[in-house]
C-alpha cells in the first residue's frame, strides 16, 4: 500500500531542492571557464515557480475572458518568454564564476535578466529545468535515499556535470 501522506511530505521537501547548472559553450559543448560558471536553481516545482506560473496564467485567462475571439499573436510569445525569464530569476539562489567584461557579475536581478535573455543561456535553462532528474529523486523513493543523493552530487561536482545538488 502507498502512503501518500508520507510521499507528499517527501516530495514537498524535494520540490525546494536546488541544483547546479553548469553553463556550456554553445559552440563546443564544453563548460565555460575554469572553474566552470554555474547557476544554483530551485526546481520548477518549487513554491516560487508555481506561484509565478499561477499569476501569469491567471492574467492570460482574464485576457481571454475579456476577448474570447482574440487570436494568438507574436506578442503572446514575447510575454511568455518574459514570464519564463522571471521564473528563472525567481528560482535562482546564487551563481559562481560568472563575469562580464572581465569583472565578476553580482547575482542580482538586473544581471540575472541580462544573462537569462541571452538565447543560448535561455536554451540551457529551459533544457535543465525541463528535466526534473537534475534535482535528484524525492527522499524516500527507491533511488532517492539521502546517501545516494549526496554521493551523486559529489561525483557530478567533481566532474563538472550539470545537475549536482547543493
- Give per-residue pLDDT as tens, 92-136: 999 999 999 999 999 999 999 999 999 999 999 999 999 999 998
The pTM of the full predicted model, rounded to 2 decimals, is: 0.76
Q: Where are the alpha helices (DSSP H) in the chain?
A: 4-15, 47-66, 74-91, 109-116, 119-130, 146-159
Q: Which long-range contacts (CB under 8 A, 24 or more apart) does 82-87 make?
A: 83/52, 83/56, 84/122, 84/126, 85/113, 85/116, 85/117, 85/122, 86/52, 87/44, 87/49, 87/52, 87/53
Domain ranges for the chain, please list them: 30-157
CA–CA distances in Å: residue 124 to residues 80, 91, 140:
17, 15, 29
pLDDT tens, position by position, 2-58: 899 988 888 888 899 899 999 999 999 999 999 999 999 999 999 999 999 999 999
> Would you say 36 and 160 are in contact if contact means Cβ atoms under 8 Å apart?
yes
Amino acid at each position: 500500500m502507498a502512503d501518500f501522506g508520507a510521499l507528499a511530505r517527501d516530495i514537498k521537501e524535494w520540490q525546494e531542492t536546488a541544483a547546479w547548472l553548469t553553463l556550456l559553450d554553445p559552440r563546443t559543448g564544453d563548460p565555460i571557464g575554469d572553474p566552470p560558471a554555474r547557476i544554483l536553481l530551485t526546481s520548477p516545482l518549487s513554491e516560487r515557480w508555481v506561484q509565478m506560473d499561477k499569476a501569469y496564467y491567471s492574467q492570460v485567462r482574464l485576457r481571454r475572458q475579456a476577448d474570447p475571439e482574440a487570436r494568438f499573436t507574436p506578442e503572446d510569445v514575447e510575454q511568455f518568454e518574459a514570464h519564463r525569464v522571471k521564473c528563472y530569476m525567481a528560482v535562482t539562489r546564487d551563481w559562481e564564476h560568472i563575469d562580464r567584461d572581465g569583472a565578476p557579475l553580482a547575482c542580482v536581478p538586473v544581471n540575472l535578466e541580462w544573462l537569462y535573455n541571452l538565447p543560448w543561456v535561455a536554451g540551457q535553462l529551459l533544457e535543465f529545468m525541463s528535466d526534473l532528474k537534475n534535482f535528484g529523486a524525492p527522499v524516500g523513493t527507491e533511488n532517492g535515499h539521502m546517501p545516494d543523493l549526496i554521493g551523486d552530487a559529489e561525483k557530478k561536482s567533481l566532474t563538472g556535470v550539470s545537475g549536482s545538488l547543493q
